[in-house]
Amino acid sequence: MNNHYIDSIYYDLQLTSNIMKKLGEQVFEKLSLGITPLEHATLDTIFCNAGICQRDLAKLIFKDRANTGRILDSLEEKGFITRFIDVKNNRLVKKMGITEKGLLKLEEVNEKFEQLFQDLEKTVNKKEIEKTQKSLKKLRETLLEIVNMNI
């Protein structure tokens, strides 16, 4: 039996990821949200992890610190986050929090995306989506144990 790359889970995940990324870009552009999909994911991550430092954020959004810094600069310029100095393990670290303007933007984007998710559930039932998410999370956690992420 021939095993081809295009028959692998890696290919299926990569292709699906690329399609989801493109869809996100198109939706954000069409809706003129004033924020990119990556900025939205970063803003949501900061919201869910108040007072997070840049290094920990980089790990959660799976970006190196330089790219994370550029995303944070953009969010800060737009007034969506604020950065502040705090002490962690007797060291000064930059942490960030979401501003009122950032909260409003996050709510606006999430509301608009809710309709997209509802449309998806018309063709793929909610239980199937939840099962897929659970499987992907398990796979991601397994892969994170073996991937070398120098952040």
CA 43 to the chain's CA centroid = 8
Averaged over successive runs of 10 residues, the pLDDT of the chain (151 residues) comes to: 81 91 88 92 96 92 92 97 89 92 95 80 85 91 78 59
What's 40-146's CATH class? mainly alpha
pLDDT value of position 104: 97
At residue 126, what are phi and psi to the nearest 5 degrees? -60, -40
Residues 6+ apart with CB under 8 A from 53: 86, 88, 93, 94, 95, 96
Closest CA to 89 of 55, 61, 58: 55
C-alpha 133/C-alpha 129 separation (Å) is: 6
Ordered by start, the domain boundaries in the chain are: 1-30, 40-146
The packing angle between helices 100-120 and 37-48, to 10°, is 110
101 in the Ramachandran plot: left (φ > 0), alpha (ψ -120 to 50) or beta? alpha
pLDDT value of position 1: 55
pLDDT value of position 44: 97
